[in-house]
Structure 1
Amino acid sequence: MEPVEINAGNYYLRQLRADELMDDRPALVEAFADPTQRRYVPGYQVGTLEEAGEYVAVRARQWERDERCSWAVAEPTTGDLLGEILLKNLDLEAGVAEAGLWIHPNARGRGVGVTALSAALRFGFGALGLREISYQHEESNTASAAVARRCGFTHVRTEHAGPGVEPELIWTRGPAGAM
């Protein structure tokens, strides 16, 4: 599918970019250098502009393959990257996906995640016709739990992977009452 832009009120959602008009790579490197980001968004190497460029390219390919809708949360007047919102593990036939997000350290605590995720949920339930969107995070990530509650998700279970591994909270939401 083609990437779409979404007006999210105080912010807008757009494709991540690394081109002559807009370059999200420096903000990506900065965000992924943050200890909280590394803790709760593991598994990504985004320490250089080259790695950030590959991150942007991967997200573009995922849009093309209908695997993931990924949006840069942008400040509307400057276009500055404030975070990323996504619908991943898309199964359009089954009507399900998993939501995810991260917010740049400089933008945390301002409601960016709730506003942007609410817009992505409207897109998922409306434009994509999804029937259920799940959301999961580590138990200690209280900011993610607050976003889930404010976006209308219901906590359905806690998964324990084993000793020494933090439990994951699993939330779900259907289109009824979509924001």
Structure 2
Amino acid sequence: MYAISLGDDGAELRPLEPWQAEEFLAHIDRGREFIGQHNALPDVVADLESSRAFLQAYAQRAATDTGRLYGIRTDGTLVGAVFFRRMDVEQGTAEAGCWLEPSAVGKGLVTRAVRVIIDWAIRERGIHRVEWWVSATNEPSIAVARRLGMSKDGVLRQSYLYRGKRHDEEIWSVLAPDWRADEQAV
């Protein structure tokens, strides 16, 4: 299996696959309450069967080129993930997302990992627009969008029903020409 280094701190990005369901469930269990603040994943991945089903769904998306899921590891331990929730190569659009367990917060892991997958999507798959949908109250995730040079496209007011409450969602995006220009400027 391949791994992509995310820097000098031992962090790396690797695909997540169905055979890793036990490890994935243990990771979700470690961060269940924290991850669940803004993300329904802990409600979906509740046991080994649902963990395997979630990973299998992303394996199917990878096989059909409609999504991807990558684990973020520090010193070999799964601590989070970045993913393309959806990907439409024909239309040139993708939606990226992330989550971390509490032990991994504040280390720049998500920003580094999302930078890798956006770069891959634009350069290798020809994606023109990468979106970042985020709860308007999720400041850390909004900060990632800003650090990646994304533009705020707008707010979908009370569009997301989560745990019985309606939430606003912000949509951020980066376009391929802007991404390439930013990367060349660095």
Common fold: TM-score over 0.5 = yes
**Does the Cα contact within 8 Å between 1:97 and 1:132 map onto a contact in 2?**
yes
Indicate yes or no: 2:12 matched with 1:12: yes
Map of 1:124-143 to 2, 5 A cutoff?
A: 124-143=121-140
Find the residue that maps to 1:74 and give its secondary structure: strand
Partner of 1:177: 179
Q: Which amino acid aligns with 1:112?
A: L
Find the residue that maps to 2:149 and give its secondary structure: coil
Alignment RMSD (CA, Å): 2.4
Aligned-residue offset at 1:13: 1.7
Find the residue that maps to 2:179 and give its secondary structure: coil
**Does the Cα contact within 8 Å between 1:26 and 1:49 map onto a contact in 2?**
no
Aligned-residue offset at 1:5: 4.7
Find the residue that maps to 1:167 and give its secondary structure: strand
- The 1-side partners of 2:99 and 2:5 are apart by 18
Q: Which amino acid aligns with 1:38?
A: G
- The 1-side partners of 2:133 and 2:15 are apart by 23
**Does the Cα contact within 8 Å between 1:29 and 1:49 map onto a contact in 2?**
no
Indicate yes or no: 2:113 matched with 1:81: no
Q: Which amino acid aligns with 1:14?
A: R
Indicate yes or no: 2:153 matched with 1:156: yes
Per-residue CA shift, 1:67-110, capped at 9, x if unaligned? 201111122x42x1121111222110111111111112211111
Aligned-residue offset at 1:4: 6.8
More strand by share: 2
Per-residue CA shift, 1:31-53, capped at 9, x if unaligned? 3x22x311311164212233222
**Does the Cα contact within 8 Å between 2:95 and 2:130 map onto a contact in 1?**
yes
- Flag the structure with more relative contact order, 1 or 2, with Cα contacts below 8 A and sequence separation at least 6: 1
- The 1-side partners of 2:55 and 2:79 are apart by 15
Moved over 6 A (4+): none
**Does the Cα contact within 8 Å between 1:68 and 1:87 map onto a contact in 2?**
yes
Partner of 1:167: 168
How many residue pairs get aligned? The number is: 172
Partner of 1:56: 55
The gaps in structure 1 that reach 5 residues or longer are none
Aligned-residue offset at 1:154: 0.6
The gaps in structure 2 that reach 5 residues or longer are none
- The 2-side partners of 1:28 and 1:53 are apart by 12
| Percent of paired sites with the same residue | 22
Partner of 1:113: 110
- The 1-side partners of 2:157 and 2:2 are apart by 36
